[in-house]
């Protein structure tokens, strides 16, 4: 047996295969402030990591935005945990207040990225999801044991991030992550993950994941599903080639 050492495949959150099937539009867009008293907006409407928005691309977007007030709008199923942590750190170091808005979905790595904001809000019909780090490894029992140890350390770091924001005890957060917990906007606010819920008129996106992308995700009505775009299909092909 051999060990596949691609970082994204070994230690990413539950993303690489499931997320390629979600059909969410791919976007990383910087909208400069129209006036000095307005905020720059960055739209993160994509996966996080190799098959979506990398930490490098995100930090370049932050540099383009420049110092000052910033709004990050999120509609993302998450992705690579290390890219997400690097993006979290970059947001924390931004020279200016950061307002985070979950427009549709902040799942997996996108859920802790959202916590980098000084103020975090969600659209009333949006979702936030937390779960344990997930990855793939091929090898012998030593490889499996080592990978499990690293995944446990990653989970510990994420527990600390969530606990610091919410004020909940680490054991409670651990149980939520073990269960793959989905929060509505109201539930996320009650649990301490977000600060405010937007007025319905401010919503800019829909959390349209294909049913089954995650084990415990809420079911979407049949008429809300969309056909995966060409880019998603291409990512599926690349994933299949890499796995083959």
* pLDDT tens, per residue, the chain with 244 residues: 233 344 444 344 444 444 444 444 456 888 766 555 678 999 999 999 988 899 999 999 999 999 999 999 999 999 999 999 999 999 999 999 999 999 999 999 999 999 999 999 999 999 999 999 988 888 899 999 999 999 999 999 999 999 999 999 999 999 999 999 999 999 999 999 999 999 876 555 544 555 555 555 655 544 433 333 444 544 555 555 555 5
49: alpha, beta or left? (left if phi > 0; alpha if psi -120 to 50): left
The pLDDT of residue 168 is: 96
Q: Tokens standing for 149? A: 């140890």
Of the listed 131, 149, 160, 201, which one is catalytic? 131
User: Residues 1, 138: contact at Cβ < 8 Å?
Assistant: yes
User: Residues 78, 48: contact at Cβ < 8 Å?
Assistant: yes
Helix orientation angle between 170-178 and 141-166, rounded to the nearest 10 degrees? 120
The pLDDT of residue 3 is: 34
Choose among 154, 112, 115, 117: nearest CA to 129.
112
Please report, in angstroms and rounded to a whole number, the separation of the first and last CA atoms in the chain.
Answer: 15
Q: Where would I find the H helices in the chain?
A: 7-11, 55-65, 81-92, 109-114, 141-166, 170-178, 185-191, 230-243
Q: Tokens standing for 95? A: 């020279």
Chain-centroid distance, C-alpha 153: 19
Active site residue 94: no
Choose among 84, 129, 83: nearest CA to 102.
129
CA dist 37 and 183 (Å) reads 33
Of the listed 12, 76, 108, 111, which one is catalytic? 108
Domains along the chain with CATH numbers = 7-243 (3.90.226.10)
The pLDDT of residue 87 is: 97
């Amino acid at each position: 047996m051999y060990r596949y050492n691609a970082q994204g495949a070994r230690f990413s959150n539950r993303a690489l295969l499931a997320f390629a099937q979600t059909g969410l539009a791919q976007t990383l867009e910087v909208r400069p402030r129209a006036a000095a008293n307005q905020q720059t907006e960055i739209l993160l409407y994509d996966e996080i990591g190799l098959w979506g928005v990398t930490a490098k691309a995100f930090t370049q977007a932050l540099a383009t935005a420049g110092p000052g007030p910033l709004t990050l709008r999120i509609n993302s199923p998450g992705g690579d945990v290390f890219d997400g942590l690097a993006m979290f750190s970059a947001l924390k170091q931004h020279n200016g207040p950061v307002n985070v808005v979950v427009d549709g979905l902040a799942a997996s790595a996108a859920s802790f990225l959202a916590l980098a904001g000084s103020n975090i809000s969600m659209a009333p019909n949006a979702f936030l999801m937390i779960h344990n780090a997930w990855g793939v490894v091929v090898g012998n029992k030593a490889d499996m044991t080592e990978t499990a140890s690293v995944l446990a350390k990653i989970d510990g770091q994420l527990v600390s991030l969530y606990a610091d924001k919410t004020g909940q005890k680490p054991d409670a957060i651990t149980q939520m992550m073990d269960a793959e917990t989905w929060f509505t906007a109201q539930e996320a606010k009650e649990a301490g993950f977000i600060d405010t819920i937007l007025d319905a008129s401010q919503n800019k996106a829909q959390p349209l994941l294909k049913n089954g992308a995650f084990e415990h995700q809420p079911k979407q009505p049949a008429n809300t599903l969309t056909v995966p775009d060409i880019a998603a299909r291409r990512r599926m092909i690349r994933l299949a080639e890499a796995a083959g």
